[in-house]
Amino acid sequence: MSGLTNSRSRGLAVFLLVLPLVLFLLSLSIGTYGIPPRGLLKTVLSVVSPASQPDVPAAYRDILLRIRLPRVLLAMAVGAALSVSGASLQALFKNPLVNEYILGISSGAAFGAALSLVFLGRAFPPQIAGFVFAVAAVGAVLLISGQAESHFITLLLTGIIVTAFFSALLSLVEFFASPYVLQALFFWLMGSLSLASWKDLYISLPLIAAGLFVLYLLRWRLNVLSMSEEEARSLGVNVRREKILVIGAATLITAAATAIVGIIGWLGFIVPHLVRMMFGADNRRVVPLSAALGASLMLVADDIIRGASAFEIPIGILTSLVGIPVFLILLKKTRKVWL
């Protein structure tokens, strides 16, 4: 256990697991067009049985079902996906500084999705190319840095190089994009939930759910995989196979998220840290609680964006602006203790 006593930590864990549900309901009513809780309830009832609630304004239904619900669901899915992906990769690479961005996954996915949007149009799901290039990027990072367990510095430098390469390719794609597509691309790259539509969700949500489920099942195994490779092998783990499984699932959920919301930095980095600080390193707790906390923070961030200003700041900018100072404070305050 970390600093928390058993009962306090259990209470906090329950709170964290319930939090996304509460925030989910709250988020549905927040926005430029506020919907009071009663209106929310009535609208939900009117969907279930239209005859029972004849007086529900049509605007409520439209806003709730067509705009807000997909957006809120997407925020939760993306928050959970990035956080769990970060937690898993950190355990696998035995380093709390690893994240999907360092491994090139984000830039690969962003390039793939942009390529798809520019050359294949919005009708073609960008998740496919996003995933393909995310795999290519992480594969390149692992191959070039030798083996996955090589020194962190090597991994970091290779990640920087591969990320730079895919960023250059992305610029090339932007160069060929029409001004109209370019504008959309620009917003999307900064990380934005405003483009959320059911069509995107139909593809990304199942992919994220599947990847999250695999990583959730593997949560105890992640403890064993966080040992040195020799130790893990001696403990009876087929290291190569399970490593591919974890990287594959983490890449899938990151790519599925990035393909529709762009690059949202720092969440996958900070959320697992916070969870480890509160609950210790055991991934049986870190994985589900990172999902809950990630989903909650993403909802809060999106609520702030939707509620605070008339125009929308891309959420990726907000997470970075808040995330970086938080990270620095954590680093200074705790040094290596929470590792």
Partner 1 sequence: MSVRVVNLEFAYPKFSLHVGGLTFEKSKVTAIVGPNGAGKTTFLKCVGAVLPIPKGSLFIEGRDLASLRSRERARLICYVPQEHDTTFNYTVSDFVLMGRAAFVSPFALPSREDTEAAAAALDFVGLAGYADRSISELSSGERRLVLIARALAQQSDILLMDEPTTFLDPKHEAEIFQLIRKLADERAKTILVTLHSLEMAVQHSDQMVFMKRGEVVAHGKSAEVFEDSLLERVYDMKMKIIEWEGRKIVLR
Residue 244 contacts partner 1 per CB under 8 A:
no
Supply the minimum distance, in Å, between the C-beta of residue 302 and partner 1. 31
**243 touches partner 1 by CB under 8 A:** no
Does residue 234 touch partner 1 according to CB under 8 A? yes
228 makes contact with partner 1 (CB under 8 A): yes
Q: Does 61 bind partner 1 (CB under 8 A)?
A: no
Which range binds partner 1 by CB under 8 A, 204-212, 213-221, 262-270, 314-322?
213-221
Residues 6+ apart with CB under 8 A from 319: 191, 264, 265, 266, 267, 301
Helical H runs in 190-238? 198-217, 219-225, 229-234
- Give the Cα separation of 338 and 91 in Å (integer): 13
- Contacts of 193-199 with CB under 8 Å at 24 or more apart are 193/71, 193/74, 193/75, 193/78, 193/261, 193/302, 193/315, 194/71, 194/312, 194/314, 195/260, 195/261, 196/70, 196/71, 196/74, 196/260, 196/261, 197/70, 198/66, 198/70
129 versus 222: smaller Cβ distance to partner 1: 222
CB closer to partner 1, 183 vs 234: 234
Torsion 251-252-254-256 (CA) sign: positive
Please report whether residue 174 would count as binding partner 1 according to CB under 8 A: no
Tell me which stretch binds partner 1 (CB under 8 A): 14-22, 104-112, 193-201, 281-289: 281-289
Give 236-241's long-range contacts (Cβ < 8 A, gap of 24+). none
How far apart are alpha carbons 25 and 41 in whole angstroms? 10
Residues 55-66: b if buried by 16+ CB within 10 A, e if exposed: ebeeebbebbee
224 binds partner 1, rule: CB under 8 A: yes
Check binding of 238 to partner 1 (CB under 8 A).
Answer: yes
State the Rg of the chain over Cα. 20
338 near partner 1, judged by CB under 8 A: yes
Using CB under 8 A, which residues numbered 91 to 110 contact partner 1? Answer: 91, 94-96
The two three-digit tokens of residue 150, written as one number: 């090589």
Our CA angle for 309, 311, 316, nearest 5°, is 90
Q: Which helix (H) or strand (E) holds 19?
A: helix 6-29
Out of 43, 88, 226, 296, point to the residue binding partner 1 (CB under 8 A).
Answer: 226
Residue 86 in the binding site for partner 1 (CB under 8 A): no
Specify the residue, 263 or 293, whose C-beta has the smaller distance to partner 1: 293
Q: Which stretch binds partner 1 (CB under 8 A): 77-85, 136-144, 215-223, 260-268?
A: 215-223
Note whether 118 and 185 are within 8 A (CB).
yes
| 282 binds partner 1 per the rule CB under 8 A | yes
Total site size for partner 1, rule CB under 8 A = 36
Instruction: Name which of residues 110 to 139 contact partner 1 (CB under 8 A).
Output: none
Looking at beta carbons only, is 27 or 83 nearer to partner 1? Answer: 83
- Of the ranges 70-78, 177-185, 218-226, 322-330, which one interacts with partner 1 (CB under 8 A)? 218-226
With beta carbons less than 8 A apart as the criterion, state whether 100 and 86 touch. Answer: yes
CB of 232 to partner 1, least distance (A): 8
Structure tokens at 268: 């996958």
Q: Pick between residue 120 and residue 217 the one whose CB is nearest to partner 1.
A: 217
Least Å distance between CB 62 and partner 1?
42
Residues forming contacts to partner 1 in the complex (CB under 8 A) are: 1-2, 91, 94-96, 217-221, 223-224, 226-228, 230-239, 242, 245, 276, 280-282, 284, 337-339
